[in-house]
């Protein structure tokens, strides 16, 4: 299993030439080989969603994808959201609505919501709850996350 | 120079958290984010039998694998003693402590039997599968209510029975108008933080310092234990807390894996990293909650309690870990709750079983005993045909009776309920949900065939466990304030709360306060973050330290500005005159520069703009609350929808209401999980069945309703000047009790819920029973 393949991953518009075993998960490659540790690992079996990143714009559990499968695709992680020190509207809304406590699940929620709002800016409340219920948070009880996402969605629609 | 006329107030305001920006931008440093050059990765080989004799371990194939550095088993760490108790030590428990590896017997699936150290985590996991472990299976003891068996020859699986009580319970039961009894069970579940455990140890031979990264909760205690167990000076072991992805009781306790990476880093002189995977977490880290209660109340004809009696069977799992008897101790001691209970007698049988060892989980002992007590109050109401609220009102300790000494102790402190207006808060909670209108609405909906009902539960929490907490504050030459605490952060927002207290006391902006926590090399001692103690203990220590820094600043400024201290104030980091609209001023940073070690002949001890504060407390304080739940049951599926949930909570003094609401809502969500969904199940051989997050069901955004939180400050604690009480556990405390009552009500079946979690399968059976009863009534 130790045969390695050379691939290039494009994370946040930056190319990383890395050498990985075929079995290496995308999340391990993002964290260990590309050094972007903002994406977290919560369960490694695709349930919790802490490792959610965007692959070609779609939210993906990066623990369920192999790094080699992501070659040639545009990967976006939590590190891409802020503009320097300037938080984006979604990050700001999480802060204003106390949508995070320990912060471990937060990058996954931010990327899940980013992907969904980019594709469905007019998403309805019920559908939004369904989307948010695909990730786990153990601290907040979710309602502040829901409020933050609604506020950010409204702001993005106004723009 | 223009200066603000009024000081910025921080305490009592829902200010944004100082922690958030780092976490929102992916710059957090959680355990897995820490790596050191040349590190080895540890993978633990675990028992796959619940109970058995360890016959042999053959590591030859693993050792022959390229990239494997070493494989360890019990013989390699025979010199390291078992992990000791941190709290609630009880005579007789010592032989049941856990060693780093199983020596001759395995006692739960998941018990460490060996560890592989390799160059890469994938390799380590591959090699761990090559370690051949031969175990001769023994019959497993899986129920704490079963007859005790043998832990090892000569040692029973019931090492101790805790007993607490006061008054003449026998006389009360003999003379009671009515005796109400119930058998009630709470399921096995736990904190399950989103971040699994992690530990990275590094030995720096040049400084002779062993570093452990990934620490949480109680870094100083763990430092002292690691030093003792490895035979090192405490000062040569340092622990470092980074970001912690949820605490909840489970995280940060000292576990075998923490010691293993430390011992390996010392012996190999290479950094050693261990990151737990989710399956390991669900079988190896502390479980909690599992208890069965046999409870009885003696009441008079008015429903007034004369005595309570309870016998608890507490399922400790395979070993007794750092919490020793903490959970059953709290369950027994806190069971009387907010009620006058003239006589009380309770015992808790601590029973070892062949399941994952247990520890604390948010509101330990209270989630369980509140469920039991409030179920019993509902049963008393039913038996005497009284209103459920009225029977509670008749038994509440009144405001005038405060402080109320309970004649019980817990966590080494006497229980003296320090302040409270229980009836007042109950009234506020019922008003907030418009209880009479809510009842009418429920009756109407039920007539139309809906299974809908409401439940109310009251509880007393505890917070602010001592004996001390210490804080050091220093203003730098740039005006930045560093606040160093021996406490810890588990994601609750303690940096923000402490910064708010410091800011108001000292006279600075809270954003200029940098809070350091969980670093054993920055402060000599500290108690850490548990038992809802941080805001109370570290908060008051912060106030004391900031008061001393302020006094020092004013004295120095008085000299420089030729102004009496009484005419000076600190406003937004600037010492200003209060007796004139204009005039000279000096910033705290500039003042700090004048207080250098060589300035004005000051001794080194007096140098710098800094001071320490230490708050000592021999008693806990007691916040309290009311939960109100409205549920609807789906007759076909047994699914429960929570239509409304209110938590009313008296916190004494709210430093940051937004953070308190967050604590309450989050705790409540965990309580809902433990009440409706979460359960660690085992098969008949002790094989765990809940080993992924697809089997162990935690609530999602779909299951958690809006939690309304009513924060009150009617009963400030007299035990600290700000009146602070803790807020970490009140959200979880009464969820099992309130939802059980609401479900009983919805079913029209009093005393129906006797077991948590109320899973759809169990609820379906109750729905059938309810339907049967209704049919027979109608017939």
Q: Give the CATH number, domain containing residue A26.
A: 3.10.20.30
d(CA B49, CA B105): 10
Q: Can you list the residues of chain B whose pLDDT is less than 50?
A: 1-4
Give per-residue burial for A35-52: e unless 16+ CB within 10 Å, then b. ebbbbbbbbbbbbbbbbb
Q: Does the distance separating the beta carbons of A40 and B666 come in below 8 Å?
A: no
Say yes or no for a CB contact (<8 Å) between B32 and A130.
Answer: no
Tokens of B605: 């001890």
* Domain shared by A18 and A61, yes or no: yes
Mean of all residue pLDDT scores within chain A: 97
pLDDT in tens, B551-580: 999 999 999 999 999 999 999 999 999 987
Q: Are residues A131 and A110 in the same domain?
A: yes
For chain B, positions 479-508, list CB contacts with chain A under 8 A. 490-493
Running DSSP on this structure, what letter comes out for residue B674?
I
Please give the residue of chain A at the shortest CA–CA distance from B282: A43
A71 and A13 both lie in a single domain? yes
Q: CB B663: neighbour CB atoms within 10 A?
A: 29
> What pLDDT does residue B5 have?
52
Cα nearest neighbour of B247 on chain A? A102
pLDDT in tens, B229-268: 999 999 999 999 999 999 999 999 999 999 999 999 999 9
Cβ separation of B243 and A102 shorter than 8 Å?
yes
CA distance B727 to B464: 10
What's the Cα-to-Cα distance from A146 to each of B398, B541, B656, B680, B766, rounded to whole Å? 40, 36, 21, 29, 33
- Whether the CB of A100 is below 8 Å from some CB of chain B: the reply is yes
Q: Give the number of other CB atoms < 10 A from CB of residue A112.
A: 23
Same domain, A35 and A102: no
Q: Which domains, and CATH codes, for chain B?
A: 20-27+465-616 (3.30.365.10), 31-141+196-281 (3.90.1170.50), 409-461+621-779 (3.30.365.10)
Same domain, A66 and A114: no
Confidence band for A122, pLDDT divided at 50, 70 and 90? very high
Q: Kindly determine whether residue B245 and residue A102, on different chains, have CB atoms separated by under 8 Å.
A: yes
Residues of A in contact with B22 (CB under 8 A): 103
Contacts of residue B660, Cβ cutoff 8 Å, sequence gap at least 6: B649, B651, B654, B709, B711, B727
Average pLDDT over residues A80-91: 96
What is the percent of chain A where pLDDT is above 90?
96
Q: For residue A143, give the CATH number of its domain.
A: 1.10.150.120
Total domains in chain A come to 2
Distance from CA of A147 to the nearest CA of B (A): 10
pTM value surpassing 0.80: yes
Q: Are residues A126 and A67 in the same domain?
A: no
Identify the three-state secondary structure at position B221. helix
Give the pLDDT score at A155.
Answer: 95
| B343-352 vs B305-317, strand pairing mode | parallel
Is A95 in Cβ contact with B194 (below 8 Å)? no
What pLDDT shows up at residue B7? 78
Question: Shortest CB distance from B704 goes to which of A37, A47, A143?
Answer: A143
**Cβ pair A47:B246 closer than 8 A:** no
Element (H, E) at B672: helix B657-672
Asked if the Cβ–Cβ distance from A142 to B700 is below 8 Å, we say yes
In terms of CA atoms, which chain B residue is nearest residue A2? B123
Residues A96 and A154 in one domain: yes
Nearest CA to B361 out of B763, B105, B733, B771 is that of B733
Separation CA B177–CA B301 (nearest Å): 6
> Nearest-CA distance from A119 to chain B in Å?
21
Last residue of a domain, one of A33, A56, A80: A80
Q: Judge if A9 and A69 occupy the same domain.
A: yes
Which residue in B13, B20, B190, B192 has the most chain A C-beta atoms within 10 A of its own C-beta, making it the best mutation to test that interface? B20
CB contact under 8 A, B700 and A95: no
Mean pLDDT, to the nearest integer, of A79-99?
97
Q: Tell which of A48, A80, A112 closes a domain.
A: A80
Contacts of A38 in chain B (CB under 8 A): 25-28
Angle at B53 between CA B49 and CA B57, to 5 degrees: 85
A138: which chain B residues are within 8 Å (Cβ-Cβ)? 191-194, 246, 248, 666, 670, 698
Strand, helix or coil at B197? coil
Question: Quick check: B245 and A103 CB within 8 A?
Answer: yes
Share of chain A above pLDDT 70, in %: 99
Q: B700, A107: Cβ pair inside 8 Å?
A: no
Last residue of a domain, one of A80, A101, A122: A80
Q: Are residues A40 and A94 in the same domain?
A: no
User: CB–CB of B28 and A103 under 8 A?
Assistant: yes
Is A107 in the same domain as A139? yes
Give how far B244 is from chain A: nearest CA, Å: 6
Is the Cβ of B698 closer than 8 Å to some Cβ of chain A? yes
A51 and A26 in one domain?
A: yes
Same domain, A150 and A120: yes
Interface check for B196 against chain A (CB to CB < 8 A): the answer is yes
* Contact assessment for residue B481 and residue B502, using Cβ atoms and an 8 Å cutoff: yes
pLDDT (tens digit, 9 = 90+) per residue, B110-169?
A: 999 999 999 999 999 999 999 999 999 999 999 999 999 999 999 999 999 999 999 999
- Residue A153 domain boundaries: 89-158
Q: Is the ipTM of this complex over 0.95?
A: yes
pLDDT for the residue A1: 52
CA distance B490 to B248: 8
pLDDT confidence bin for A82, thresholds 50/70/90: very high
CB proximity under 8 Å: B 18-47 to A:
19-30, 32-33
pLDDT in tens, B357-407: 999 999 999 999 999 999 999 999 999 999 999 999 999 999 999 999 999
The pLDDT score that the predictor gives to residue B436 is: 98
């Amino acid at each position: 299993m130790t045969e390695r393949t050379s691939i290039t991953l494009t994370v946040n518009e930056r190319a990383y030439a890395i050498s990985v075993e075929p079995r290496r998960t995308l999340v391990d490659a993002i964290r260990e080989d590309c050094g972007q540790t903002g994406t977290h690992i919560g369960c490694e079996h695709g349930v919790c969603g802490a490792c959610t990143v965007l692959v070609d714009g779609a939210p993906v559990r990066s623990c369920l994808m192999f790094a080699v499968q992501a070659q040639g695709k545009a990967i976006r992680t939590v590190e891409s959201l802020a503009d320097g020190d300037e938080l984006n509207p979604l990050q700001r809304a999480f802060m204003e609505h106390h949508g995070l406590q320990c912060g471990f699940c937060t990058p996954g929620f931010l990327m899940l919501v980013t992907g969904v709002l980019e594709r469905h800016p007019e998403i309805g409340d019920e559908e939004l709850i369904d989307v948010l219920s695909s990730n786990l948070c153990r601290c907040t009880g979710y309602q502040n996350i829901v409020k933050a996402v609604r506020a950010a969605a409204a702001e993005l629609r106004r723009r | 120079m223009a200066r603000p006329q009024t000081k910025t107030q921080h305490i009592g305001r829902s200010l944004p958290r100082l922690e958030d920006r780092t976490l929102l931008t992916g710059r957090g440093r959680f355990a897995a984010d820490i790596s050191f050059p040349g590190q080895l990765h540890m993978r633990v080989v675990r028992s796959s039998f619940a109970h058995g004799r360890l016959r042999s371990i053959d590591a030859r194939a693993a050792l022959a694998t390229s990239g494997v550095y070493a494989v360890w088993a019990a013989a390699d760490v025979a010199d390291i003693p078992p992990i000791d108790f941190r709290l609630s030590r009880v005579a007789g428990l010592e032989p049941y402590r856990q060693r780093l590896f199983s020596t001759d017997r395995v006692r739960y699936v998941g018990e460490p039997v060996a560890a592989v150290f390799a160059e890469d985590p994938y390799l380590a996991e591959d090699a761990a599968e090559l370690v051949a472990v031969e175990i001769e299976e023994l019959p497993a003891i899986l129920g704490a209510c079963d007859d005790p068996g043998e832990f090892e020859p000569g040692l029973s699986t019931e090492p101790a029975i805790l007993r607490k009580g006061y008054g003449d319970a026998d006389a009360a039961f003999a003379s009671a108008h009515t005796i109400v009894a119930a058998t009630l069970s709470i399921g096995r579940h736990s904190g399950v933080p989103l971040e699994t455990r992690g530990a990275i140890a590094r030995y720096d031979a040049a400084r002779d310092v062993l570093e452990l990264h990934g620490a949480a909760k109680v870094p100083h205690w763990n430092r002292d234990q690691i030093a003792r167990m490895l035979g090192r000076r405490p000062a040569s072991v340092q622990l470092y807390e980074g970001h912690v992805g949820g605490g909840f009781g489970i995280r940060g306790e000292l576990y075998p894996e923490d010691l293993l990476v430390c011992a390996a880093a010392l012996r190999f002189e290479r950094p050693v990293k261990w990151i737990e995977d989710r399956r390991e977490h669900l079988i190896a880290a502390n479980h909690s909650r599992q208890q069965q209660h046999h409870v009885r109340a003696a009441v008079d004809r008015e429903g007034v309690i004369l005595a309570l009696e309870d016998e608890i069977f507490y399922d400790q799992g395979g070993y007794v870990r750092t919490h020793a008897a903490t959970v059953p101790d709290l369950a027994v001691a806190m069971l009387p709750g907010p009620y006058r209970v003239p006589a009380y007698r309770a015992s808790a049988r601590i029973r070892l079983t062949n399941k994952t060892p247990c520890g604390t989980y948010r509101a330990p002992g209270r989630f369980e005993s509140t469920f039991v007590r409030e179920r019993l109050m509902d049963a008393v109401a039913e038996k005497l045909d009284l209103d459920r609220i009225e029977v509670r009102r008749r038994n509440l300790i009144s405001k005038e009776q405060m402080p109320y000494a309970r004649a019980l102790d817990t966590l080494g402190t006497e229980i003296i309920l320090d302040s409270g207006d229980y009836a007042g808060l109950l009234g506020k909670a019922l008003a907030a949900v418009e209880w009479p209108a809510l009842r009418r609405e429920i009756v109407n909906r039920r007539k139309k065939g809906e299974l809908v009902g409401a439940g109310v539960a009251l509880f007393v929490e505890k917070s602010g466990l001592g004996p001390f907490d210490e804080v050091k504050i220093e203003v730098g030459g740039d005006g930045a304030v560093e606040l160093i605490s021996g406490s810890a952060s588990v994601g609750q927002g303690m940096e923000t709360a402490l910064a708010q207290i410091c800011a108001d006391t000292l006279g600075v902006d809270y954003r200029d306060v940098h809070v350091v926590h969980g670093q054993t090399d920055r402060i000599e001692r500290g108690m850490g973050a548990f038992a809802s103690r941080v805001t109370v203990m570290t908060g008051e220590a912060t106030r004391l330290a900031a008061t001393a820094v302020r006094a020092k600043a004013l004295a120095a400024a008085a000299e420089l500005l030729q102004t009496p201290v009484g005419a000076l104030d600190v406003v937004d980091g600037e010492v200003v005159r209060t007796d004139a609209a204009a005039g000279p001023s000096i910033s705290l940073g500039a003042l700090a520069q004048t207080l250098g070690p060589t300035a004005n002949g000051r001794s080194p001890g007096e140098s710098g703009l800094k001071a320490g504060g230490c708050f000592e407390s021999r008693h806990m304080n007691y916040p309290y609350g009311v939960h109100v739940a409205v549920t609807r049951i789906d007759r076909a599926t047994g699914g429960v929808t929570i239509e409304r949930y209110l938590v009313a909570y008296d916190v004494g003094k709210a430093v940051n209401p937004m953070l308190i609401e967050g604590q309450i809502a989050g705790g409540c969500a965990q309580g809902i999980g433990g009440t409706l969904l979460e359960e660690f199940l085992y098969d008949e051989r002790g094989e765990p069945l809940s080993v992924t997050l697809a089997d162990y069901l935690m609530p999602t955004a779909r299951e958690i309703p809006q939690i309304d939180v009513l924060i009150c400050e009617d009963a400030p604690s007299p035990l600290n000047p700000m009146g602070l009480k803790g807020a970490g556990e009140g959200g979880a405390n009464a969820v099992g009790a309130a939802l059980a009552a609401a479900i009983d009500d919805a079913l029209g079946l009093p005393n129906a819920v006797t077991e948590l979690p109320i899973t759809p399968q169990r609820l379906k059976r109750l729905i059938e029973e309810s339907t049967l009863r209704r049919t027979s009534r109608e017939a």
